[in-house]
Amino acid sequence: MAMGLVSWRRVQTGFLRGAPYKEIQASWRAYQENLEPSTVRGIPDVSINSVQQTGAENGSSASLELDIEHYVVPAPSTSANSGLVYAANMTETPRSLSRAGVLSNADSSGSVSHSGISVDRPALIKDMEVSVPDPSKVYSSSGMVESKSVGTFSPLQKQDSHRGLFVDRGVGSPRLVKSASASTFNIDLKLDTETKNSMPAAAGAVAAAAVADQMLGPKEHRHLAIVLVGLPARGKTFTAAKLTRYLRWLGHDTKHFNVGKYRRLKHGVNQSADFFRADNPEGMEARNEVAALAMEDMISWMHEGGQVGIFDATNSSRKRRNMLMKMAEGNCKIIFLETICNDRDIIERNIRLKIQQSPDYAEEPDFEAGLQDFKNRLANYEKVYEPVDEGSYIKMIDMVSGHGGQIQVNNISGYLPGRIVFFLVNTHLTPRPILLTRHGESRDNVRGRIGGDTILSDAGEIYAKKLANFVEKRLKSERAASIWTSTLQRTILTASPIAGFPKIQWRALDEINAGVCDGMTYEEIKKNMPEEYEARKKDKLRYRYPRGESYLDVIQRLEPVIIELERQRAPVVVISHQAVLRALYAYFADRPLKEIPHIETPLHTIIEIQMGVTGVQEKRYKLMD
């Protein structure tokens, strides 16, 4: 209690100088009315409580009879509950093909146009399949690898120069912009959240790094292409989808381009293994053409402001990669991401999943025939496979299980590539559930006050007990599971009846900091601080409470939590708060940033995220109203 008062006074004294006294008074009154002695301070950061609690309502003795299926409620329809959808189907719709009438033979004029922008396509197959240069020379200066075509995006480059450089802001604070010609930052008062730009909609480190890279790096390095490399059934599409989700969540405009999708649209789903033979000239030409079309679409999208393109194909020969590097010249930086797997069991499992899920085999009624055809296809690729040893690359070798493996990194620098490597080092496909829940109802929830650090209401206490029973039943055979809470007492108290699992307090899981509005009701904010109320309503994602946080700030501080959730191999129960759970859930459900502040996260409901080889699936349990 004393600690709370001291810290409040410090804030109050500092703030009085600049803020309207009325606002302080309202906030201070709310704080005093709500002040409850903390019953949980002094709990160590990690505690293990192995004593079972008994005798409570829905106590442990009854818990093993608990039928958890009884509490299942429908989840909103998002990608997280359609985990069995083949990841390639969720990728970008091929623009060049739909523009050309989708299945009609694609534009043969050699010129395509995106949103009125004309992009010369190389007279590709023939012109691009030049002899393979010495990789060390690919990156040398002029002439060695001549770009015949793509790169003439002058109309867009002009537009680019008018585009401001985006820097983090909380609404309330204006946005900083830097004109391409000026060397100083100006202040942009526009609240245009939809403006397309190549800078991430992000706060803190992500925004700072983006500014630094934009100021210092070569222009083409403002756009990054992660080009997957690897034999079929090595988890490329899955890795690409996961990386796309992570980068989007961090605020980078990221798209996943799957060449298989282009191939299926242009050449149908029933191509046999022969189509993939390296000595089949028609097949080679068709495959190179769709790869070039996808690359063109990706580059066009980058010129419209897209930041990171994930280019998903086998790209397993140096010749193919050389073609892509030439197309990328002057447009984007390429990092190859090669996935290598030497574990026969994992490959066999992936092959079987492919036959079940890939549209390539949707019309093949005979599973064994599909299996044989796919194995023949794989053998065709193996004959000509050339591992990457050129340019900038990341090689993931036997990393799927999360046990050991190797990651090799060559010629990688910069903030974003560094983050990508860090993410890839920490992810794996071991199936495990992650249970997300808000704390039980708090006394502040009852009064409609935001923030604060009150204890649970009576209903909240009942939820805590029900949750303990649920967790005991759901994770009874998962002794390595752990319970994560914030440092606020309503989450710690919600976790307290759960026995037998380590409990970890994370400051990063604390609720969004409402700054001077902490302890107020929304009505009080509307009445006393109407401009703040309106600013938040207008742009809830970027709005930063005076002396507090925005949703973008929350996302930024949650990144280590996401990395740790990815890294964990055992189940985790996360007991946190509304804004924080919105942000965490959005990562798993791949929901766009702008939706995050509006995602429904009801009290007394558990969202179970199942992580696994086929992606992410979601199940919800509503334990009480």
Q: What is the contact surface with ligand F6P in residues (CB under 6 A)?
A: 445, 450-451, 511-512, 514, 577-579, 597
Say which of 303, 439, 577, 604 is annotated catalytic: 439
Taking every pair of Cα atoms in the chain, the longest distance, rounded to a whole number of angstroms, is: 80
Continuous H helices in 229-317:
236-250, 259-267, 281-303
Which sign, positive or negative, has the C-alpha torsion 413, 417, 419, 421?
negative
Output the smallest distance, CB 90 to ligand F6P, in A. Answer: 28
How many whole angstroms separate alpha carbon 230 and alpha carbon 377?
13
* CB burial readout 403-425, b (16+ within 10 A) else e: eebeeebeeeebebbebbbebbb
Cβ–Cβ < 8 Å for 409, 394: yes
Spatial neighbors of 143 by CB under 8 A, at least 6 apart, are none
Spatial neighbors of 320 by CB under 8 A, at least 6 apart, are 288, 291, 313
How many whole angstroms separate alpha carbon 419 and alpha carbon 425?
10
Using DSSP's 3-state secondary structure scheme, residue 433 falls into strand
Of 213 and 518, nearer to ligand F6P (C-beta) is: 518
Q: Is 332 a known active-site residue?
A: no
Assign residue 34 a region: left if phi > 0, alpha if psi is -120 to 50, beta otherwise? Answer: alpha
Q: Is 553 a known active-site residue?
A: no
**Token output for 510:** 């604390």
Output the smallest distance, CB 512 to ligand F6P, in A. Answer: 5
Using DSSP's 3-state secondary structure scheme, residue 573 falls into strand
Q: Is 428 a known active-site residue?
A: no
Say which of 341, 453, 472, 553 is annotated catalytic: 341
Of 392 and 491, nearer to ligand F6P (C-beta) is: 491
Q: Is 517 a known active-site residue?
A: no
Output the smallest distance, CB 437 to ligand F6P, in A. Answer: 13
Output the smallest distance, CB 451 to ligand F6P, in A. Answer: 5
How many whole angstroms separate alpha carbon 173 and alpha carbon 521?
23
Of 454 and 482, nearer to ligand F6P (C-beta) is: 454
Of 245 and 439, nearer to ligand F6P (C-beta) is: 439
Of 94 and 597, nearer to ligand F6P (C-beta) is: 597
Of 170 and 451, nearer to ligand F6P (C-beta) is: 451
Output the smallest distance, CB 550 to ligand F6P, in A. Answer: 10
Torsion angle, CA of 35/39/42/43, rounded to 10 degrees? -130
Say which of 360, 472, 511, 618 is annotated catalytic: 511
Output the smallest distance, CB 603 to ligand F6P, in A. Answer: 9
Spatial neighbors of 67 by CB under 8 A, at least 6 apart, are none
Q: Up-side HSE of residue 581: CA atoms within 13 Å toward CB?
A: 27
Say which of 213, 312, 566, 608 is annotated catalytic: 312
How many other CB atoms are found less than 10 A from the CB of residue 20? Answer: 12
Output the smallest distance, CB 577 to ligand F6P, in A. Answer: 5
How many whole angstroms separate alpha carbon 12 and alpha carbon 117?
55
Of 265 and 579, nearer to ligand F6P (C-beta) is: 579
Of 427 and 445, nearer to ligand F6P (C-beta) is: 445
Output the smallest distance, CB 543 to ligand F6P, in A. Answer: 9
* CA 63 to chain centroid: 36
Q: Any idea which residues carry the catalytic annotation?
A: 312, 341, 439, 511
